[in-house]
């Protein structure tokens, strides 16, 4: 028995190690399940496949394609089958001359049978109908409108995702700056405490620097919560579950090195709103044309075939059938339908003129939007460059003041003042940074430079 004890212990050890490794692997898989590491383009692509507005716009596009097929289907032959069964509870009585006796006298007679039945199939083909052909053209225009609406929705989604993405990047940049502040201010605090322990510094110096350090720690905790919420907003904008794990590949430095764009090199035709308004003008023109063509006739061809059965008793009804067939044309021509059509056409003409005016106004509105967006971005970009320089200057001032403080030349008030000036410059830099990033996206949107593949 003794020779087996080491083997049993060894096996138990192997099983325990294997179990721990398997559990560790399982937990690692659970931790990484649903994790995404995305760039801005990755976030946009995800949103274009999952974001609710884009999905609905894509469904509207599919619906417009089905509408075109519906209009085409109206031009195909229409086949109907009708049937009936009649039980004449009391046959209708008619009066006819009494030819056998006295023609001047009328005698009552009944025609028909108690039971009758009929089945008829008819095929109808439209030969001419102005509404059908205009409807098919209008359906194609509606399809183009749905395409433009999908483009606009996709562009709005890209802008929304970009803004949320930049909010996260700026939050991360703010955390990086505050962490640097904690490191350098923590060192000053530790040095001051050491000097106080040696009797070189006063207690008031420790308390002043400690209070400032506590404020920075609170700011760091606030930024953590802000970053987490910014991630949630980004995931919501993308149509991603809020409990999914998302990390970003890029930093703000990847987006702040671009030069000022040319505010004149753009075309209003690149804006989906302008294209949609042009489509609306075409739809209003088709509506007016359709109303004017309502006086034209409608011509249909038809062919039918059916059977009729008659019987005095129900048991005799379907013993003998009599076939019937017809081929012909049907013409419907609304010669006069009051004057309402005239005034309706005038209303459509007014609507068309309004849409044309809106198109011209939209052209000017887009130009004004571009100028406003370019002005905003230019100002924000200039402020960003200035704040970057101010951070460097205030960081240099802070470093020199701390050096003098360590040498006993300056006071703790000088250090706190320099630190406040540095934090103020950093806050202004963060504000200028987010304003510059967002205004650049707005400028690209105004100029129609945001494209959706």
Encode pLDDT of 342-375 as tens digits.
888 889 899 999 999 999 999 999 999 999 999 9
Q: How far is CA 75 from the centre of its chain?
A: 35
Give the strand pairing for 245-248 and 35-38.
parallel
pLDDT in tens, 45-100: 999 999 999 999 889 888 888 888 887 777 788 899 999 998 888 878 777 887 77
Query: In this predicted model, what pLDDT tens digit does every residue of 312-341 receive, in sequence order?
Result: 888 888 888 888 899 998 888 887 777 778
Give the chain's length. Answer: 453
* Six token digits for residue 439: 């205004």
- Residue 261: per-residue pLDDT: 64
Mean pLDDT for the stretch of residues 193-197: 88
Q: pTM higher than 0.85, yes or no?
A: no
Q: Label residue 147 by pLDDT band (50, 70, 90).
A: confident
Helix (H) or strand (E) holding 113: none
pLDDT at 376: 92
Which pair of structure tokens corresponds to residue 291? 């109303």
DSSP state of 262: P
Of 108 and 285, the structure prediction assigns the larger pLDDT to: 285
pLDDT digits (tens, 9 = 90+) for 393-415: 999 999 999 898 888 888 889 88
165 Cβ contact partners less than 8 Å away, ≥ 6 residues apart: 40, 43, 234, 248
7 has pLDDT over 50: no
The whole-number pLDDT of residue 262 equals: 64
């Amino acid at each position: 028995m003794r020779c087996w004890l080491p083997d049993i212990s060894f096996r138990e050890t192997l099983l325990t190690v294997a179990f721990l490794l398997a559990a560790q692997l399982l937990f690692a898989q659970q931790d990484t399940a649903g994790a995404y590491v995305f760039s801005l383009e990755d976030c946009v692509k995800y949103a274009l496949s999952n974001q609710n507005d884009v999905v609905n716009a894509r469904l509207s596009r599919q619906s417009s394609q089905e509408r075109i097929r519906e209009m085409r289907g109206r031009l195909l032959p229409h086949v109907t089958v009708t049937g009936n069964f009649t039980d004449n509870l009391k046959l209708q009585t008619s009066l006819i001359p009494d030819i056998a006796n006295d023609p001047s006298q009328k005698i009552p007679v009944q025609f028909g049978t108690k039971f009758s039945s009929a089945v008829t199939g008819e095929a109808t083909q439209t030969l001419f109908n102005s509404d059908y052909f205009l409807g098919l053209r209008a359906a194609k225009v509606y399809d183009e409108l749905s395409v433009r609406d999908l483009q606009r929705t996709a562009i709005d989604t890209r802008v929304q995702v970009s803004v949320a993405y930049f909010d996260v990047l700026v939050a991360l940049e703010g955390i990086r700056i505050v962490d640097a502040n904690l490191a350098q201010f923590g060192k000053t605090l530790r040095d001051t405490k050491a000097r106080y322990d040696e009797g070189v510094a006063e207690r008031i110096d420790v308390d002043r620097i400690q209070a400032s350090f506590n404020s920075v720690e609170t700011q760091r905790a606030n930024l953590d919560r802000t970053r987490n919420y910014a991630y949630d907003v980004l995931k919501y904008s993308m149509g991603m579950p809020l409990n999914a794990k998302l990390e970003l590949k890029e930093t703000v430095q990847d987006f702040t090195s671009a030069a000022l764009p040319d505010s004149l090199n753009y075309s209003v035709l690149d804006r989906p709103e302008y294209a949609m308004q042009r489509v609306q003008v075409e739809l209003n023109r088709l509506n007016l044309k359709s109303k004017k063509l309502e006086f034209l006739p409608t011509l249909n061809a038809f062919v039918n075939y059916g059977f009729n059965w008659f019987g005095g008793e129900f048991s005799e009804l379907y013993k003998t059938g009599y076939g019937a067939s017809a081929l012909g044309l049907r013409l419907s021509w609304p010669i006069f339908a009051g004057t309402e059509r005239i005034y309706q056409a005038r209303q459509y003409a007014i609507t068309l003129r309004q849409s044309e005016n809106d198109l011209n106004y939209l052209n000017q509105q887009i130009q004004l939007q571009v100028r406003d967006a370019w002005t905003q971005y230019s100002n924000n970009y200039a402020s960003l460059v200035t704040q970057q320089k101010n951070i460097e200057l205030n960081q240099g001032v802070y470093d020199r003041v701390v050096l003098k403080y360590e040498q006993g030349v300056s006071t703790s008030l000088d250090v706190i003042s320099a630190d406040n000036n540095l934090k103020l410059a950093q806050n202004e830099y963060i504000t200028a940074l987010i304003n510059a990033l967002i205004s650049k996206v707005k400028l690209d949107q105004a100029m129609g430079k945001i494209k959706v593949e």
